[in-house]
Amino acid sequence: MARTGLGEALMNWRAAVTPSDVGLPGNGARRTPGLRREELAQLAGISADYLTRLEQGRAANPSAQVVEALARTLQLTTDERSHLYQLAGLATPTPDRIPRSISPGVQRMLDRLNDTPVAVFDAMLTELHANALYVELMGERTGNERNAAWRNFLGTAGRIRQTPESLGLLQQLQVADLRRTAARYPHDPNLHALIDELRRRSTRFGHLWESGAVAEHQATRKTIDHPRAGAITLDCDVLQVAGDDLRIMVYTAQPNSEDATKLTHLTTVHT
């Protein structure tokens, strides 16, 4: 079967990444170097069948989200990432667009936090990456629900327990975040589309946007109602990645607490 330039490049890059590079066990000797298709697909959040079709030239025109996830998982350099976008027939994101890439150094750090729920969000509050324990804790989010602002103004209630007061403060913080982001990226069409939809469909968002509400991230404690483990109360910290305009959300439990035991159990169950 004739392979495409995209397929050949993906195979070569996959062969150059070892399991230990992405926080996976080596599992003994391998017939071929690098990651297996199933491993790359799982880490990038796509199906193994779709990755196979991309590599074999039976699928074309992957979305920018898929390309970015593959570039991140394969730990591509800036030039390699640009080349991957070109092979996929997509324009490489420019500086006036919100960054959606996770640097190899940050990705290596994330790969080593398997026992900690961690998620990464871009400057418009869209989830770019969530490790397996975060997904187990919060549930999988797809489509518009991957954007935290869209979810909290227009979407369905998640597992985090909220009071009217805590939800109101969170919404104020998210509006302030989006206003600062709009000032930094005034020409990003995806950001404009999100803000326009929220203003059009949410009276609450429109009021906060017009009022000029301001807020800053603070360390908080959140209670998550897990469908099997029950209520788990965790500390939530948001870390900023200098230069990449990313937010890393980290959940931790107080040592030797019942919540720590529950979190460890979730880790064990997932493993």
Place of tokens 């954007």: 147
Residue 72 confidence (pLDDT) above 70: yes
| pLDDT at 165 (0 to 100) | 92
Residues in contact with 97: Cβ distance below 8 Å, sequence separation at least 6, in sequence order = 185, 187, 188, 190
**What are the DSSP calls for 113-134, one per residue?**
-TTS-EEEE-TT-BEEEE-HHH
Band the pLDDT of 163: cuts 50, 70, 90: very high
- CA 48 – CA 211 distance, rounded (Å): 47
- Please report how many Cα atoms fall inside a 13 Å half-sphere around the Cα of residue 16, on the Cβ side: 13
pLDDT recorded at residue 117: 96
Per-residue pLDDT averaged across 138-163, rounded?
92
**Residue 204 backbone dihedrals phi, psi, to 5 degrees:** -60, -45
What residues contact residue 174 under an 8 Å CB cut-off, 6+ apart?
125, 148, 149, 152, 153
Is the per-residue pLDDT at 94 higher than 70? no
pLDDT tens digit sequence for 36-49: 899 899 888 888 89
* Cβ count within 10 A of residue 220: 14
Residue 100 clears pLDDT 80, i.e. is over it: yes
pLDDT reading at 219 higher than 60? yes
Query: For 244-269, how does the pLDDT look when each residue is reduced to its tens digit (9 = 90+)?
Result: 889 999 999 999 999 999 999 988 76
Task: Using alpha carbons, list the distances in angstroms from residue 127 to 4, 28, 101, 106, 253.
Answer: 30, 34, 12, 15, 22
Average pLDDT along the chain:
88
CB atoms closer than 10 angstroms to residue 263: 25
Question: Taking 70 as the threshold, does the pLDDT of residue 184 lie above it?
Answer: yes
pLDDT in tens, 110-140: 888 888 999 999 999 999 999 999 999 999 9
Average pLDDT of the segment spanning 82-93: 85
pLDDT value, residue 156: 86
CA distance 161 to 34: 42
What percent of the chain has pLDDT above 90? 49
Q: Can you tell me the mean pLDDT for 91-100?
A: 78
| pLDDT at residue 160 tops 70 | yes
Q: What is the pTM of this model?
A: 0.68
- Please state, in angstroms and rounded to a whole number, the distance separating the CA atoms of residues 263 and 271: 12
3-state DSSP call for residue 255? coil
Q: What angle do CA 76, 82, 87 make, to 5 degrees?
A: 100
Contact 175/208 with Cβ under 8 angstroms? yes
Query: What is the rounded average pLDDT of the residues 178-205?
Result: 93
